[in-house]
Chains A and B, each alone.
Chain A
């Protein structure tokens, strides 16, 4: 039982490059989330998926897209990376909104 897994763990991109962050959970949870964490800002919600087949914008969605591929997997795509997207990205899952969230280990992304 791996919980929430994220790949890659570290990534360096040049401005304008694209990439997809992968997330998978094996807890049969309905809801999944993508956050970014910046110093002094806490965790900010980028996108969420309350259930398979649905996605919604969170607090800071600009510059990102998501895909809920199936119940297990929720990916985050940066189409044209910018230095302002340098951050640590966390994926999380929960049985449903307002329940306990289980977080992955994070992806540290640097955009130069």
Chain B
């Protein structure tokens, strides 16, 4: 059983569309991170959220941390082919010394 669930698992959309991906858990996290990973490379951090209800914007990407700090969402406005990749969420867990536990990821494909 995964500590973090992500949905959808796969998403294929046309350029210009909006989308939201979700990261959910039954556990409370002290902080949560979102990463994007491109094929053949390691993940790259997009954002860290630490406060329940927090909203952060990074250009066309909007990240929200749930009030109870158990879930998060990533919304992309007017998606572009450069947004294509694997989006991973990771929650800080006391189980492993406050290191991050990763979800399985959402694989996004934005078609031109």
Contact = CB atoms under 8 A, between A and B. Distances in A.
Interface in A47-62: 48, 50, 56, 58-59
Given A50-B97, A90-B42, A105-B40, A98 B102 contact: no
B30 interface: yes
B102 A92 contact: no
A36 to B, nearest CB: 11
A101 interface: yes
Interface in B10-52: 30-31, 33, 40-45, 48
Contacts of A35: 102
B76 interface: no
B41 A101 contact: no
A71 interface: no
Looking at chain A, what size class is its interface with the partner chain?
Answer: 20 to 34
Contacts, number: 63
**Interface size range on B against A:** 20 to 34
A97 B42 contact: no
Interface stretch (A11-19, A38-46, A74-82): A38-46
Contacts of A104: 42
Contacts of A90: 42-43
A101 B100 contact: yes
B101 A41 contact: no
Contacts of A4: 42
B95 to A, nearest CB: 8
A97 B99 contact: yes
Given A42-B88, A43-B43, A90-B42, A97 B98 contact: yes
A100 B42 contact: no
Given A98-B31, A101-B45, 7 more contacts: A35-B102, A41-B104, A48-B97, A50-B97, A97-B92, A101-B43, A101-B100
9 contacts: A42-B88, A42-B104, A42-B105, A43-B88, A45-B99, A56-B97, A97-B98, A103-B42, A105-B41
3 tightest A-B contacts by CB? Answer: A103-B42, A42-B102, A43-B102
